[in-house]
């Protein structure tokens, strides 16, 4: 008991010390530029009060609050389908340039009869595609808690382009928000200098229940028995022979997206880049060079990239044959929107051409990319075009495994049920139309909204029921808290690897200087592994990797359990030694070594 109290006190004291340290950091910052409009919260309350059907929005007096007298109160009476079904909204007049380092500061507390509150702060484009620079989920109790939310502008936002939101629709609750400020520090201050509220997620604790289930499932799904029998040329069994089991390769797909440059470049960085690709990945996606516009512009580059990967014994994921939004397609394609026959021909010709060009060389193709929100082509040709594209890809390359791929399924806190449902319907529709969909890609680009691990598992269960393997095709994580980035990467990889429906986990780039979100890269520009990069190596090449030494017993036999994949097994007895390759599949393997 005493220990518990002491531990509690220690934690409270360290949390308070940490908060004080964050406040001190805030005070040290230069003035910055105010982005949030004056009286933003009042405006939010008024706007929401007019539009919402799920509860009440008010601007109320709050006595004794730290530094403000009024607050936005959100009372959710009926839980909407999505958390953003109840969200307050303020438009900002200020322009923001991509890369500006920003900070949101606000206070929150549970109000009315609620003892706890749960909300999300969002900074996003006020129109489609609602590009988010921040989506910060927070929890609060009865006392006012201050939140520091640092982030980087993900794009240029013009005048009236920025929308700020507080979403409260995840539960029946009452919550108050006060003291909101959104400040830009331009590009002169580093993200790491800003104060922050530590992030966390459900399922992070060491004794979380899902961990045991995941560990059991990994043991069952990802390992098998390897039986080794050693005997002499005359057939005499050799007990006491030394056996060295060395894993060479995973059966499960572990890899990254790679870029033709630096892969094909000269110089020391390219050298290191190639070394990492060849030594740590068994399945790799070509990030941009196989996309339709890029392929048409420079097909030799795509050919060279694929050749390099194949020579390095790395399986290739082609990405992608059709990304059906006009802006994703070669310039002339949009001009065909009033000529359906010509559009259809242009698309199918391309699919046959590119899939045919790489026939037999591609392990997996992302055939259709992001069809939930990229619907330009379907609007002209109907959804049937997606099935036609799958069939054309199948004819052009009978060997490649054909995937569909989309974002917002596992990420976004797992809350974007609209996106999940639409994806599910599209896949089901394709299957009903007998389209050869053989794999489901879930991109997995994470920001601060970290999906609880049990929710990840639920979503995998749902899509797994469709009967084809699921792959995480584009994982990355972009948050300001390095510790949470490492922990969440470890836990997500574990939950995914443990789920029987999955077959691979691909990260979307690994080097800061060649990453679409540099802060998400596993390796810094100077080739230092970051915390979440180390996690990758610890799991893939230590925790889930079997290297062991043993010796044969009675009958010259020994049995070991190992992770599925390729091995070499060396046996030594007296002066004789021999090494043989073995593949360990789901049903186990048996190898006889003759000395």
Under the rule (CB under 6 A), what is the footprint of ligand XIL?
287-288, 369-370, 407, 443, 474, 516
Q: How far is the CB of 103 from ligand XIL (least distance, A)?
A: 26
Q: How far is the CB of 320 from ligand XIL (least distance, A)?
A: 7
3-state percent helix, strand, coil for the chain, nearest multiple of 5 = 35, 30, 35
Nearer to ligand XIL, 370 or 397 (CB): 370
DSSP alpha helix (H) spans, 68-221? 210-221
Q: Which residue is nearest to ligand XIL (CB)?
A: 516
Nearer to ligand XIL, 361 or 373 (CB): 373
Residue with tokens 């979307």, as numbered in its chain: 508
Q: How far is the CB of 424 from ligand XIL (least distance, A)?
A: 18
- Cα dihedral 110, 35, 156, 422, rounded to 10, equals 20
Nearer to ligand XIL, 403 or 563 (CB): 403
Q: How far is the CB of 325 from ligand XIL (least distance, A)?
A: 11
What's the first-to-final CA gap in the chain, in angstroms?
62
Nearer to ligand XIL, 63 or 331 (CB): 331
- Cα dihedral 251, 254, 260, 265, rounded to 10, equals -90
In what helix (H) or strand (E) does residue 102 lie, and over which residues does it extend? strand 101-110
CA 71 to chain centre: 35
Q: Six-digit token pair at 161?
A: 């382009």
DSSP 32: -
Q: How far is the CB of 328 from ligand XIL (least distance, A)?
A: 9
What number of CA atoms fall less than 13 Å from residue 358's CA on the CB side? 34
Q: What is the CA radius of gyration of the chain?
A: 27
Nearer to ligand XIL, 407 or 446 (CB): 407
Q: How far is the CB of 520 from ligand XIL (least distance, A)?
A: 11
373 exposure class (CB count in 10 Å sphere: 0-12, 13-18, 19+): middle
Lay out the sheet containing 162-167: strands in order across.
87-92, 162-167, 117-125, 132-140
For residues 290 and 304, is the Cβ–Cβ distance under 8 A?
A: no
Q: How far is the CB of 200 from ligand XIL (least distance, A)?
A: 26
Longest dimension (CA), the chain: 93
SS (H, E, C) 246-298: EEEEECCEEEEEECHHHHCCCCHHHHHHHHHHHHHCCEEEECCCCCHHHHHHC
Q: Six-digit token pair at 430?
A: 């394709």
Distance, CA of 571 to CA of 560 (rounded, Å): 14
Q: How far is the CB of 497 from ligand XIL (least distance, A)?
A: 22
Nearer to ligand XIL, 239 or 325 (CB): 325
Q: How far is the CB of 436 from ligand XIL (least distance, A)?
A: 20
Nearer to ligand XIL, 176 or 476 (CB): 476
Nearer to ligand XIL, 397 or 474 (CB): 474
Nearer to ligand XIL, 164 or 259 (CB): 259
Nearer to ligand XIL, 197 or 449 (CB): 449
Residue 179: φ, ψ to 5° = 60, 35
405 exposure class (CB count in 10 Å sphere: 0-12, 13-18, 19+): buried
CB-based contacts of 358: which residues, under 8 Å, 6+ apart?
306, 316, 318, 397, 400
Q: How far is the CB of 516 from ligand XIL (least distance, A)?
A: 4
Q: How far is the CB of 521 from ligand XIL (least distance, A)?
A: 12
CB atoms inside a 10 Å sphere around CB 267: 9
For residues 465 and 215, is the Cβ–Cβ distance under 8 A?
A: no
Nearer to ligand XIL, 369 or 573 (CB): 369
Nearer to ligand XIL, 293 or 436 (CB): 293
Q: How far is the CB of 415 from ligand XIL (least distance, A)?
A: 19
Nearer to ligand XIL, 247 or 443 (CB): 443
DSSP 240: T
Distance, CA of 144 to CA of 108 (rounded, Å): 5
In what helix (H) or strand (E) does residue 308 lie, and over which residues does it extend? helix 299-311
Q: How far is the CB of 559 from ligand XIL (least distance, A)?
A: 43
Nearer to ligand XIL, 443 or 558 (CB): 443
Q: How far is the CB of 77 from ligand XIL (least distance, A)?
A: 37
Q: Six-digit token pair at 492?
A: 């997500």
According to DSSP, the β-strands at 502-507 and 174-184 are unpaired
Nearer to ligand XIL, 29 or 517 (CB): 517
Q: How far is the CB of 131 from ligand XIL (least distance, A)?
A: 12
């Amino acid at each position: 008991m005493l220990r518990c109290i002491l531990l509690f006190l220690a934690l409270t004291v360290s949390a308070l010390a940490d908060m004080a340290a964050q406040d001190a950091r805030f005070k040290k910052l230069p003035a910055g530029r105010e982005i949030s409009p004056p009286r933003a919260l009042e405006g939010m309350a008024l706007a929401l009060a007019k539009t919402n059907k799920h509860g009440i929005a008010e601007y109320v007096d709050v006595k004794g609050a730290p530094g403000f007298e009024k607050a936005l109160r959100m009372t959710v009476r009926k839980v909407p389908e999505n958390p953003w079904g109840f969200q307050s909204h303020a438009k900002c007049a200020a322009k923001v340039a991509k890369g500006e380092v920003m900070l949101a500061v606000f206070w929150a507390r549970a109000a009315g009869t609620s003892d706890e509150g749960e909300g999300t702060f969002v900074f996003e484009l006020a129109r489609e595609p609602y590009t988010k620079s921040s989506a910060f989920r927070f929890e609060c109790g009865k006392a006012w808690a201050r939140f520091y939310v640092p982030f980087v502008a993900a794009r240029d936002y013009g005048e009236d382009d920025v929308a700020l939101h507080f979403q409260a629709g995840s539960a029946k609750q009452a919550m108050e928000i006060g003291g909101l400020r959104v400040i830009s520090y331009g590009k002169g201050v580093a993200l790491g200098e800003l104060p922050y509220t530590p992030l966390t997620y459900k399922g992070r604790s060491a004794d979380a229940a899902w961990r045991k289930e995941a560990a059991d499932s990994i043991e069952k799904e990802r390992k098998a028995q390897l039986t080794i029998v050693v005997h002499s040329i005359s057939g005499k069994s050799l007990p006491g022979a030394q056996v060295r089991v060395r894993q060479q390769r995973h059966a499960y797909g572990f890899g990254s997206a790679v870029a033709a440059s630096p892969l094909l470049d000269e110089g020391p960085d390219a050298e290191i880049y190639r070394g990492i690709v060849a030594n740590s990945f068994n399945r790799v996606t070509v990030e941009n060079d196989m996309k339709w516009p890029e392929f048409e512009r420079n097909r030799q580059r795509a050919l060279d990239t694929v050749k390099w990967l194949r020579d390095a014994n790395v399986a290739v994921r082609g990405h992608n044959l059709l990304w059906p939004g006009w802006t994703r397609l070669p310039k002339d394609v949009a001009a065909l929107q009033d000529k359906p026959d010509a559009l259809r021909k242009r698309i199918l010709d391309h699919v046959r051409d590119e899939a045919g060009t790489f026939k037999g060389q591609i392990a997996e193709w992302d055939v259709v990319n992001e069809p939930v929100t990229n619907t330009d082509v379907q609007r002209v040709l109907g959804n049937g075009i997606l099935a036609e594209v799958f069939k054309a890809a199948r004819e052009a390359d009978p060997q490649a495994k054909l995937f569909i791929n989309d974002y917002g399924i596992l990420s976004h806190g797992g809350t974007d049920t609209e996106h999940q449902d639409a994806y599910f319907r599209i896949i089901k529709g394709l299957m009903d139309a007998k389209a050869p969909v053989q794999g489901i890609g879930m991109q997995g680009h994470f920001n601060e909204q970290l999906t609880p691990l049990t929710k990840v598992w639920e979503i995998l269960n749902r899509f797994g029921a469709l009967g084809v393997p699921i792959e995480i095709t584009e994982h990355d994580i972009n948050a300001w808290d390095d510790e949470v980035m490492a922990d969440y990467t470890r836990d997500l990889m574990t939950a995914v690897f443990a789920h029987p429906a999955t077959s691979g986990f691909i990260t979307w780039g690994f080097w800061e200087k060649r990453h679409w979100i540099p802060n998400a890269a596993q390796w810094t520009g100077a080739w230092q592994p970051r915390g979440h990069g180390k996690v990758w190596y610890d799991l893939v090449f230590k925790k889930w990797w079997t290297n062991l030494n043993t010796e044969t017993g009675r009958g010259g036999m020994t049995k070991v359990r190992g992770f599925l994949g390729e091995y070499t097994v060396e046996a030594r007895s007296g002066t004789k030694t021999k090494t043989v390759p073995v593949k360990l599949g789901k049903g186990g393997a048996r190898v006889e070594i003759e000395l």
